[in-house]
Chains A and B, each alone.
Chain A
């Protein structure tokens, strides 16, 4: 395999495949390396894929891609032990083209997407681990793989090797992630007849619902649960920062059972059958955790670059955009034949000028604020539930007395100023 390519892309997930697709389409000679049996076999996602960024790569992809359901309603549940406050937005404009987002099953989707890159001329090699970057004179010139005679060379190596980017770490682009920079998430795919899903979630065929679940789903620690509808299955999962999981001594699969058996959630999944159980890390360090993105002959994309907006559950879309921008950067560099860090650095500036950099910056303090101040999930969600209960239970108490009681309860812990401070802090973290 000692051939030379224009680009070697490590990892056939959303970032890597977008890069390989775009580079191959522009006439570059591309090698796409995947360690799994097939693309998608190592990849896990809750299931929401946004339309916009993929459409910029493959117009009208939804007509042929293996998508599950377009999401027409986004629900948010704030759970206490035996109650919840809910809010949602449902819009039928999301049920028709061009759609907003879809649920997908990644093992199917990634395989389809990688095949599209192959159609454009990329060479896909499965079952191959890139074990290290080959560095000569301070420049990445290729990768070593675990195949016999497995050194391959290229002008540029694109690291799309996911949250466990051992290659970016090897190059010294970042130190080992800290437990508060990653979220450990576990989920199950539960088989349910599509008719049952339609009834329980109040939708028709070809319409899906996403539910984000806060509060008791994670025993009040920083994290969320989720419930997404596929065609004839639902994905149910829960994740918290690894540090939160460690601090509370939680076993992730027990936390998942807690979510599945929660009285507010259980009726939605009753009678379903587990098809698969999956665990994965989500890079949630945000803006301040983004590693060095560019070196001589190398670019970092997707999860490997911590491009995830946890607040808006966006990641695969950022991965796709970053892969595309990386490819376009390399196409441009090819014109002059200069693949130095200085030339490739336009990738970094473009990322920071795009929605990726801007959104990561907007929420740069969010994770930290909510991790350091557990009261938001631990205290305020139950308090809000109790307030609703107090206000709506008709027991002969006059409403103004109820109001007084609620305010007294809300301010009992921290006082009025404390409450106001907390509200301001939360607003500041996401403004």
Chain B
């Protein structure tokens, strides 16, 4: 059974676009106004990782659930759908 998130993500098919459909609008806000950085915790695919001075956005593993857009306390995430046919491709459920 897949135990770690890496194990779980490895099982999914992604048809990645070159361009990110997620964008942190202002990294300064993450740095100075957001001590908790909840997105790095609740994102089910750990797309967001704080790198000390800016937010790394690993959009390639995104499930397109929308939690980051709704959960960001500073509405600091520009969230779009990936280009048609791109992004996550669920095969089962």
Give chain B residues whose Cβ lies under 8 Å from the Cβ of A278.
12, 63, 90, 93
- Chain A 162-204 near chain B by CB (<8 Å), digits 1 or 0: 0110100000000011110010101111100000000000000
Q: A128-B85, A277-B2 are in contact. List 10 more A-B contacts (CB 8 A).
A: A36-B85, A126-B85, A166-B80, A246-B71, A274-B11, A275-B92, A278-B63, A279-B44, A279-B65, A281-B65
CB–CB A273/B91 < 8 A = no
Give chain B residues whose Cβ lies under 8 Å from the Cβ of A257.
3
B64 within 8 A of A: yes
CB–CB A281/B92 < 8 A = no
Give chain B residues whose Cβ lies under 8 Å from the Cβ of A179.
70-71
A42 within 8 A of B: yes
- Chain B 70-83 near chain A by CB (<8 Å), digits 1 or 0: 11000100011111
Nearest residue, chain A, Cβ from B10:
A277
B45 within 8 A of A: yes
B52 to chain A, nearest CB (A): 20
- Contacts A245-B42, A246-B71, A281-B67 given; indicate if A40 touches B84 (C-beta within 8 A): no
A333 within 8 A of B: no
Interface size in chain B (residues, C-beta < 8 A)? 39
- Contacts A163-B66, A272-B1 given; indicate if A189 touches B92 (C-beta within 8 A): yes
Nearest residue, chain A, Cβ from B1:
A274
Q: Which of the candidate stretches A51-59, A73-81, A82-90, A248-256 sits at the interface with the other chain?
A: A248-256
How many residue pairs, one in A and one in B, have C-beta atoms under 8 Å apart?
Answer: 138
CB–CB B92/A253 < 8 A = no
A250 to B79, CA, bound (A): 22
A221 to chain B, nearest CB (A): 13
B41 within 8 A of A: yes
A343 within 8 A of B: no
- Contacts A40-B90, A107-B90, A184-B42 given; indicate if A277 touches B83 (C-beta within 8 A): no
What residues of chain B have their CB less than 8 Å away from a CB belonging to chain A? Answer: 1-3, 5, 7-9, 11-12, 15, 38, 41-42, 44-46, 63-67, 69-71, 75, 79-85, 87-93
CB–CB B90/A276 < 8 A = yes
A379 within 8 A of B: no
Give chain A residues whose Cβ lies under 8 Å from the Cβ of B85.
35-37, 126-128
Give chain B residues whose Cβ lies under 8 Å from the Cβ of A189.
92-93
- Contacts A43-B90, A279-B63 given; indicate if A186 touches B44 (C-beta within 8 A): yes
A119 within 8 A of B: no
A25 within 8 A of B: no
Give chain B residues whose Cβ lies under 8 Å from the Cβ of A164.
64-66, 69, 79, 81
- Chain A 10-32 near chain B by CB (<8 Å), digits 1 or 0: 00000000000000000000000
A107 to B90, CA, bound (A): 6
Q: Which of A243-300 contact B (CB under 8 A)?
A: 245-246, 249-253, 257, 260, 269, 272-281
Give chain B residues whose Cβ lies under 8 Å from the Cβ of A95.
none
A163 to B5, CA, bound (A): 24
- Contacts A43-B90, A278-B90 given; indicate if A252 touches B44 (C-beta within 8 A): yes
Residue among B41, B64, B92 with max Cβ neighbours from chain A (10 Å): B92
- Contacts A127-B84, A242-B67, A281-B66 given; indicate if A37 touches B89 (C-beta within 8 A): yes
Q: Which of B12, B71, B89 contacts A277 (CB 8 A)?
A: B12
CB–CB B81/A274 < 8 A = no
CB–CB A253/B44 < 8 A = yes
- Contacts A190-B1, A274-B7, A279-B63 given; indicate if A182 touches B70 (C-beta within 8 A): yes
CB–CB B84/A47 < 8 A = no
- Chain A 40-52 near chain B by CB (<8 Å), digits 1 or 0: 1111110100000
CB–CB B93/A106 < 8 A = yes
Give chain B residues whose Cβ lies under 8 Å from the Cβ of A44.
90, 93
A93 to chain B, nearest CB (A): 27
Give chain B residues whose Cβ lies under 8 Å from the Cβ of A275.
11, 92
Give chain B residues whose Cβ lies under 8 Å from the Cβ of A251.
41-42, 46
Q: Which of B15, B44, B80, B92 contacts A276 (CB 8 A)?
A: B92
22 contacts between A and B (CB under 8 A): A36-B89, A41-B90, A42-B64, A107-B93, A126-B84, A128-B85, A164-B79, A179-B71, A182-B70, A184-B67, A187-B93, A188-B1, A188-B2, A233-B92, A242-B67, A250-B41, A251-B46, A274-B1, A276-B91, A276-B92, A277-B2, A277-B11
